[in-house]
Amino acid sequence: MAKQKDLGGAQAPEEFAREELRRHREAAGLTQDGLGERIFTSGAYVGQMECGTRRLRPEIAELIDKVFGTEDYFVRLSRAFRSKQMEDFAVVAQLERVATTIYDYAATLVPGLLQTEGYARAVMRGSNPTALAGYIDGLCAFRLERARLLEDPVSPQLWVILHEAVLRTVIGGPAVMADQLRHIASYVRGHRITVQVVPFSAGAQGVLGSLVSIMQFADSPDVAYAEGPCVGQLYDDADLVRRHWKRFDLTRAAALSPEVSLARIESAAEEYAKSAQT
């Protein structure tokens, strides 16, 4: 059995776990693909666990312990941070770059991947009213860098469901809203994304959070991300991801068709444009 490190110390559990995974794999003379074959997943998924974009799940940790002969060592490591909230959104941004398809639901704000600079700046300033300009600039730069993902004409595919409240919540003033909604419409008109709107008349519908994102990958399991006012949580537990899928599908069923949704978005954009002129 490979010598194991003490679980104590100041190092964050997730950082310690991914270093231990890499150390044991290399000591066993296995590539990421080689380990992936033995734990019934892909080498890409092993790589994501080692770089921290995927959490070490208990059921995967159990298989890893069998491969390395480490009793319940990796299972204990996985439990050390199993319920820890992942507040660093950089992890989600990394996953977006390798996702094949992204499904977003937004209840109040336009999702980050679709935000214009004016809209993003208004959102950041609204959340940080006393922050220095440089801080707001940094937040906006990160948000806009994420949005460059859609410059690729094919991947990732993006399916967005917006509650009608997103269209009617005035962020940054009428001119900013007109520009933002036209921006979304241009992606739809260019056949780059699919957008549906859940009308106010739909009443209660599947997703009740402020933002939910489900990501699919070519060679790894789906993940779901749910965001609240102050924290986001990434889920890769299969049962929880399935529950998010069910709620997303219920919401999609309550939404207007893509064609009717586009008409409603463009109509709202024109209303804001006229308001800005007057």
Longest dimension (CA), the chain: 75
Can you tell me the mean pLDDT for 138-167? 92
Can you tell me the mean pLDDT for 145-157? 92
Considering the domain architecture, whether residues 98 and 61 belong to the same structural domain is answered as no
- Residue 107, domain extent: 90-113+149-277
Min mean pLDDT across 25-29, 70-74, 84-88, 196-200 is at 84-88
Give the whole-angstrom CA distance, residue 126 versus residue 124: 5
pLDDT score of 17 more than 90: no
Can you tell me the mean pLDDT for 123-149? 86
Tell the burial category of 228 from Cβ atoms under 10 Å away from its Cβ (0-12, 13-18, 19+): exposed
**What percentage of residues in the chain have a pLDDT greater than 70?**
88
Sign of CA dihedral 243, 244, 249, 255: positive
Threshold 0.85, pTM exceeds: no
pLDDT score of 59 more than 70: yes
Give the whole-angstrom CA distance, residue 178 versus residue 165: 15
Considering the domain architecture, whether residues 67 and 172 belong to the same structural domain is answered as no
CATH code for the domain in which residue 28 is found: 1.10.260.40
State the average pLDDT for the chain: 87
Considering the domain architecture, whether residues 39 and 94 belong to the same structural domain is answered as no
3-state secondary structure of 220: coil
Residue 108 lies in a domain: yes
Virtual torsion, Cα 76, 85, 23, 37, nearest 10 deg:
80
pLDDT at 4: 45
Phi/psi of residue 107, nearest 5 degrees: -100, -25
> 196 with 162: CB under 8 angstroms?
yes
pLDDT score of 110 more than 60: yes
Considering the domain architecture, whether residues 40 and 76 belong to the same structural domain is answered as yes
Check residues 86 and 72 and name the one with the higher pLDDT: 72
Considering the domain architecture, whether residues 157 and 213 belong to the same structural domain is answered as yes
**What b/e readout covers 188-201, taking b as 16+ CB neighbours within 10 angstroms?**
beeeebbbbbbbee
Alpha helices (H) along 128-235:
133-147, 164-168, 174-189
Considering the domain architecture, whether residues 172 and 255 belong to the same structural domain is answered as yes
